[in-house]
Structure 1
């Protein structure tokens, strides 16, 4: 993260008392995702904590069976199954660079559901970041984003994240 998140004003993207914190820092998941939505998705995809593969209780055979794959061109669901078939005995398949590797599902209804669900999961419209910079010396605990009443000083806000980009087009 290049900006901390707090319900009140921040200086240089840091909460009060953390002005010397180094940026960027490892973001908590709820800084960038609406985490409850990840448990409500309709695609049947479960999630695990980021450190899952480093857990000491994980059987050593799992981490000892990793297939590292580079996908050169965007592939659809049918093509990705065919491409990964040779790695079906691997416990873990690691995609070198997943950005622009997947171009969608062949089935129109499945693809529409996937696009709607990923848009909901990946675009987090949360309260904007409230910044001290540009506030015209607003007093601490002033309103964020807009004045309480005309003429009041306030802390300006910035939105944190854009909606995810569209999937690449599938090659014909």
Structure 2
């Protein structure tokens, strides 16, 4: 973001920049602008303002503070404005590749406009209370092993939630995802040195998941029915209407066969006791009739679902969600340096967070 004062010097700079770009299509606009500013850089305007003379010696150049004129990193990762208790003036979705991921970050921050129908899905919503042991968040060093242990623990719960959302044809409101390491495009030790990134931190969904794939209309005959998602801040958004927030059912998981585990809805508490270890038929029988309830919230996703009874449905679901996860980047001294997240890591007792060891390993799907 630029703020230009309409001086004669600034107009000359703008004119020369425009002519440079028109004359050569190979000139990158940002690099060209920097070259012009550095034709003459310095001396300082004074000892206090932080301004310097630039361009032809008459332009006064200063930097807008990154705490309120936010890059994608100072806003979404470092949360610098929150730590300094400032109100941002602007945010730029840098440090992210892909339009879908950028939009999702803005939605998570509740600074993106969506039409009213976005906030009232016809099939209703599914959400759950994520459970994360404190040890996974805080114990030990922040390294590859502890980062993947934390993310994998959450991923398994999200996988279950995606399956139940698919069965009930509901839109899944994703939980906040916690990370211990940043994701960048170059080797690093976990965070950018000198940044205000706290560890652990709530990371954007695109740090772990391929948001563009989750939102893509994959062929149903090959991947099974699509699963709509919403951002973790969805119910906090003022745009979410009261008729959605007020139509709520809490599903409390309980031990099957116990006296207190009764599958009936209590109108006064808007809650439902629900046994663990459910199959597809049980979920469909007990929850599909509740189509008028806008939001169903599970108390937990651990042991909530045993799996699809139909092998074809199971295979299609697995094929779909395997493509939902992305990579962590990057390990130094190894080519390639990225490490794939694995939606079914728990089925591989010897799974470790390692980059691909062969070219064939670099294409897991």
Deviation at 1:55, TM superposition (A): 2.2
What secondary structure is seen at the aligned counterpart in 2 of 1:94? strand
TM-score (norm 2): 0.35
Q: Does 1:110 align with 2:313?
A: yes
Greater fraction strand: 2
Instruction: Extract unaligned runs of 5+ from structure 1.
Output: 131-143, 148-155, 167-172
In 2, the alpha carbon distance for the partners of 1:85 and 1:56 equals: 28
Q: 1:10 to 1:56 in 2, by over 3 A?
A: same
Q: 1:69 to 1:8 in 2, by over 3 A?
A: same
Aligned 8 A contact 1:14 1:21 in 2: yes
Partner in structure 1 of residue 333 of structure 2? 145
* Aligned residue runs from structure 1 range 58-73, under 5 A: 58-71=240-253, 72-73=275-276
Deviations 1:97-126 (A, max 9, x none): 1133122222221121112212222x42x2
Aligned 8 A contact 2:208 2:328 in 1: no
Q: Does 1:91 align with 2:294?
A: yes
Deviation at 1:58, TM superposition (A): 2.1
Structure with max Cα Rg: 2
Q: Does 1:2 align with 2:203?
A: no
Q: 1:37 to 1:158 in 2, by over 3 A?
A: closer
Tell me the matched-pair count: 141
Q: 1:119 to 1:99 in 2, by over 3 A?
A: farther
Partner in structure 2 of residue 50 of structure 1? 232
TM-score (norm 1): 0.68
Instruction: Extract unaligned runs of 5+ from structure 2.
Output: 1-178, 254-274, 348-365
Deviation at 1:56, TM superposition (A): 1.4
Deviation at 1:63, TM superposition (A): 0.8
Deviations 1:20-50 (A, max 9, x none): 5221111111111112211224422222232
Q: 1:115 to 1:163 in 2, by over 3 A?
A: closer
Partner in structure 2 of residue 74 of structure 1? 277
Greater relative contact order (Cα 8 A, min sep 6): structure 1 or 2? Answer: 1
Aligned 8 A contact 2:247 2:294 in 1: yes
Q: Supply the RMSD in Å over aligned alpha carbons.
A: 2.6
Aligned 8 A contact 1:5 1:15 in 2: no
What secondary structure is seen at the aligned counterpart in 1 of 2:249? strand
What secondary structure is seen at the aligned counterpart in 1 of 2:282? helix
Partner in structure 2 of residue 14 of structure 1? 191
Partner in structure 2 of residue 101 of structure 1? 304
Greater fraction helix: 2
Deviation at 1:87, TM superposition (A): 4.1
Aligned 8 A contact 1:67 1:87 in 2: no
In 2, the alpha carbon distance for the partners of 1:102 and 1:26 equals: 26
Aligned 8 A contact 1:68 1:94 in 2: yes
